[in-house]
Chains A and B, each alone.
Chain A
Amino acid sequence: MASETEGMPQGVFQCQLCAVSAPYSYVGQKPPNTRSVVLLEECYILKDPFTADRGRFLVLGSRCSICGRLVCVGPDCSLFYSKRFCLPCVRENMNAFPQEIRQDVEKRKALAKTPCGEPGSRT
Chain B
Amino acid sequence: MPPPRTREGRGHREHPRAPCEEAPERWDWNHPDTRRLMEDAFFRDEDYIRQGSEECQKFWAFFERLQRFQSLKTARKEEEKDPEPCKHSIPALADLPRTYDPRYRINLSILGPDPWGSRELGRRLPPERVSEFRRALLHYLDFGQKQAFGRLAKLQRERVALPIAQYRKRILRTLREHQVVVVAGDTGCGKSTQVPQYVLAAGFSHVACTQPRRIACISLAKRVGFESLSQYGSQVGYQIRFESTRSAATKIVFLTVGLLLRQIQREPSLPQYQVLIVDEVHERHLHNDFLLGVLQRLLPRRPDLKVILMSATINITLFSSYFGGAPVVQVPGRLFPITVVYQPLEAEPTTARPEKLDPQPFLRVLEAIDKKYPPEERGDLLVFLSGVAEISAVLEAAQTYASHTQRWVVLPLHSTLAVADQDKVFDVAPPGVRKCILSTNIAETSVTIDGIRFVVDSASLSDSLLIFPRHQSFSVWAGCTCGQPAPSDSNTCESRNSAEALLPGLMKSMDVGDPRTFPFIEPPPAASLETAILYLRDQGALDSTESLTPIGSLLAQLPVDVVIGKMLILGSVFHLTEPVLTIAAALSVQSPFTRSAQSNPECAAARRPLESDQGDPFTLFNIFNSWVQVKSERSSDSRKWCRRRGIEEQRLYEMANLRRQFKDLLEDHGLLAGAQAPRPGDSHGRLRERRERQALLQLKRQHEEGGARRRKVLRLREEQEGGSSDEDAASGGRAAGHGVDIQDVKFKLRHNLEQLQAAATSAQDLTRDQMALLELVLGRGLYPQLAVPDPFNSGRKDSDQIFHTQTKQGTVLHPTCVFASSPEVLHAQKPENGPGPGSRGDKDKGSSRHQLLVFVSLLETNKPYLVNCVRIPALQSLLLFSRSLDTSGDCSRLVADGWLELQLADAESAVRLLAAALQLRAHWESILDRQLAHCTKRRLEEEEEEALTVSHKEVAALSRDLLQFMVPKIPYSLRRLTGLEVQNLYVGPQTIMATPSLPGVFGSSTLSPHPTKGGFIVTDFLTYNCLTSDTDLYSDCLRTFWTCPHCGLHMPLTPLERIAHENTCPDAPRDSLAGAEEAAPEPVQKASALQRPYRCETCQKDFVFTPTEVLRHRKQHV
Contacts and interface: CB of A to CB of B under 8 A. Distances in A.
Interface of A: 4, 7-9, 12, 20-23, 34-41, 43, 46-56, 58-60, 62, 65-66, 72-75, 79-85, 93, 95-101, 118-123
Given A55-B48, A83-B92, A120-B336, A37 B110 contact: yes
Contacts of A36: 42, 46-48, 110-112
23 contacts: A7-B233, A9-B230, A34-B47, A35-B47, A36-B42, A36-B110, A36-B112, A37-B109, A39-B108, A49-B231, A49-B232, A52-B704, A66-B93, A73-B146, A82-B96, A93-B90, A97-B96, A98-B96, A99-B82, A101-B100, A123-B187, A123-B382, A123-B448
A81 B104 contact: yes
Nearest to B47: A36
**10 A-B pairs with the lowest CB-CB distances in the bound complex, closest first:** A52-B704, A98-B100, A65-B92, A49-B229, A96-B93, A123-B452, A36-B47, A121-B379, A53-B705, A80-B107
Nearest to A92: B90
B599 interface: no
A23 B336 CA distance: 28
A51 B707 contact: yes
A122 B158 contact: yes
> Interface size for chain B: under 10, 10 to 19, 20 to 34, or 35 or more residues?
35 or more
Interface of B: 42, 46-48, 82, 85, 88, 90, 92-93, 96-97, 99-100, 104-112, 141, 145-146, 148-153, 156, 158, 161, 187-188, 201, 226, 228-234, 249, 336, 338, 377-379, 382, 448-453, 455, 704-705, 707-708
Contact of A46 (B47, B108, B141, B229): B229
A66 B90 contact: yes
Given A52-B707, A58-B145, A81 B452 contact: no
A43 B107 contact: yes
Nearest to B703: A52
Contact of B148 (A38, A39, A50, A101): A50
Contacts of B96: 81-83, 96-98
A75 B705 CA distance: 28
A38 B107 CA distance: 9
Contacts of B93: 66, 93, 96
A71 B153 CA distance: 13
A41 B107 CA distance: 7
Nearest to A7: B233
A92 B234 CA distance: 44
Nearest to B88: A96
Contact of A99 (B100, B104, B148, B707): B100
A95 B188 CA distance: 48
A123 B382 CA distance: 10
Given A98-B82, A99-B82, A123-B452, 10 more contacts: A7-B230, A38-B108, A40-B106, A40-B109, A50-B231, A73-B146, A83-B96, A101-B100, A121-B336, A122-B452
A118 B431 CA distance: 11
Contacts of A122: 158, 450-452
Given A7-B233, A123-B452, A73 B145 contact: yes
A37 B49 CA distance: 10
A123 B151 CA distance: 18
A118 B201 CA distance: 29
B152 A58 contact: yes
A38 B109 contact: yes
Interface of A is mostly: loop
B249 A53 contact: no
Contact of B105 (A39, A49, A51, A79): A79
A78 to B, nearest CB: 10
Given A37-B141, A39-B107, A96 B46 contact: no
Contacts of A7: 230, 233
A23 B203 CA distance: 13
Contacts of A47: 232-233
B117 to A, nearest CB: 15
A45 to B, nearest CB: 10
B46 A35 contact: yes
Nearest to B104: A82
A83 B338 CA distance: 46
B452 A120 contact: no
Given A80-B105, A96-B88, A96-B93, A23 B230 contact: yes
Contacts of A79: 105
Most buried by A among B90, B93, B156: B93
Nearest to B445: A123
A98 B85 CA distance: 8
Contacts of A93: 88, 90, 93
Nearest to B233: A7
A52 B705 contact: yes
A33 to B, nearest CB: 10
Nearest to A18: B153
Contacts of B188: 123
Contacts of A41: 107
Contacts of B46: 35-36
Given A37-B48, A93-B93, A58 B158 contact: no
Contact of B230 (A49, A58, A101): A49
Contacts of A80: 104-107
Nearest to B85: A96
Contact of B453 (A40, A98, A121): A121
A23 B232 CA distance: 14
Contacts of B161: 120
Nearest to A37: B48
Contact of B149 (A73, A83, A84, A120): A73
Contacts of A97: 96
Contacts of A59: 107, 145, 149
Most buried by B among A20, A82, A95: A82
B226 A49 contact: yes
A13 B232 CA distance: 19
A118 B48 contact: no
Contacts of A81: 96-97, 104-105
A37 B450 contact: no
Contacts of A22: 152, 156, 229
B468 to A, nearest CB: 13
Contacts of A96: 85, 88, 90, 93, 96
Nearest to A76: B153
A12 B96 CA distance: 31
A37 B108 contact: yes
Nearest to A104: B105
Nearest to B156: A20
Contacts of B146: 73, 75
A24 B111 CA distance: 24
Nearest to A25: B233
A46 B228 CA distance: 12
Given A36-B111, A84-B107, A52 B708 contact: yes
A118 to B, nearest CB: 6
Nearest to B145: A59
